[in-house]
């Protein structure tokens, strides 16, 4: 099983600030990584796939980067609606998909 | 418009069975695989089961292998998750989601809560 470790667990920031979220994998992912946003009481929403490609409807302030075992989701300037939990997901070991433990972006 | 909707959740006792259903519309059902995930209250996401686009191949996580069965009914546009020998640790919100063809998930249902408790 590929283990994904997200850091930090919680990120306390103000609107307008830049958010940098990390996802580290136990094995090489060949960029087969996605990022999801989840708000309370809602299902996850796909933001980024294949490490850096924006899903339909994802605002341009969201960007993905990285390679190998280290990946990053950056939110260039936080909007009020961006405060949520973010998960990374790998498909390199399909069908045994795994998620990271999540990073909560909260209002400072 | 793509729609995904789970149903069938509820409260059951350990050892009992339950079947969840996922109804989809708005896209050619036979062209897309469907996957079930779950999320225990306050915790992260876990892959549970996947059924292929045609319904001929199924895959299950080790934690549910031998207890859960996933099936696709292309005539009804539904995917069922049959769960047997339920355990307390199976308590979670269960989501079904459409595989976009790359094993990422672009449409999700709102989820259905399964509680296993005596």
- Among A45, A98, A102, select the one facing B47 at the smallest CB separation: A98
Establish if A57 touches chain B: CB-CB under 8 angstroms: no
Specify the pLDDT at position A101: 98
Write the residue in A87, A95, A96 that is nearest to B44 by C-beta.
A87
Single out the residue of A18, A24, A22 nearest to residue A86, CA to CA. Answer: A22
Sequence-distant (≥ 6) Cβ neighbours of residue A15 within 8 angstroms? A78, A79, A80, A107
A10-13 and A103-107 beta bridge pairing? parallel
Q: In chain A, what residues touch B104 (CB-CB under 8 Å)?
A: 34, 46, 49, 55, 89, 91
Q: Do A99 and B45 touch (CB under 8 A)?
A: yes
- The pLDDT of residue B74 is 87
* Mean per-residue pLDDT pooled into runs of 10, chain A (108 residues): 97 98 97 97 98 97 97 98 98 95 97
Q: What is the pLDDT of residue B117?
A: 97
Q: What percent of chain B has pLDDT over 90?
A: 93
Interface test with B, best of A97, A98, A100, A101 (most B CBs within 10 A): A97
Question: Using CB atoms, which residue from B45, B47, B103 is nearest to A44?
Answer: B45
Task: Give the number of other Cβ atoms within 10 Å of residue B27's Cβ.
Answer: 15
Tokens of A16: 């307008």
**What would you report as the CA-atom Rg of chain B, rounded to the nearest whole angstrom?**
13
Report the mean per-residue pLDDT for chain B: 96
Q: Kindly give, in sequence order, each residue whose CB lies less than 8 Å from that of residue B10, ignoring residues fewer than 6 positions away.
A: B18, B113, B114, B115
* Residue numbers in A near B95 (CB within 8 A): 43-44
Chain-chain contact of A99 with B102 (C-beta, under 8 angstroms):
no
Q: For the segment B65-116, what is each residue's pLDDT rounded down to a tens digit? A: 999 999 999 889 999 999 999 999 999 999 999 999 888 999 999 999 999 9
């Amino acid at each position: 099983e590929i283990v994904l470790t997200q850091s930090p667990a919680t990120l306390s920031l103000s609107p307008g600030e830049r958010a940098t979220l990390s996802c580290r994998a136990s094995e090489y992912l060949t960029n087969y990584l996605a990022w999801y946003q989840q708000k309370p009481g809602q299902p996850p929403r796909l933001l980024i796939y294949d490490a850096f490609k924006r899903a339909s409807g994802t605002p341009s302030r969201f960007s993905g980067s990285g390679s190998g075992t280290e990946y990053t989701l950056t939110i260039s300037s936080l909007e009020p609606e961006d405060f949520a939990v973010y998960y990374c997901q790998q498909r390199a070991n399909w069908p045994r998909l795994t998620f990271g433990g999540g990073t909560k972006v909260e209002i400072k | 418009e793509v729609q995904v909707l789970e149903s069938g959740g509820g409260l059951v006792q350990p050892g009992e069975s339950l079947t969840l259903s996922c109804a989809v519309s708005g896209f050619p059902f036979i062209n897309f695989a469907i996957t079930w995930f779950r999320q225990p209250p306050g915790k992260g996401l876990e892959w549970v089961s996947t059924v292929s686009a045609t319904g001929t191949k199924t895959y299950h996580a080790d934690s549910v292998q031998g207890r859960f069965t996933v099936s696709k009914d292309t005539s009804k546009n539904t995917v069922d998750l049959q769960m047997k020998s339920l355990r307390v640790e199976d308590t979670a919100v269960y989501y079904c989601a459409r595989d976009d063809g790359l094993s990422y998930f672009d449409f999700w249902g709102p989820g259905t809560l399964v509680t296993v408790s005596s």
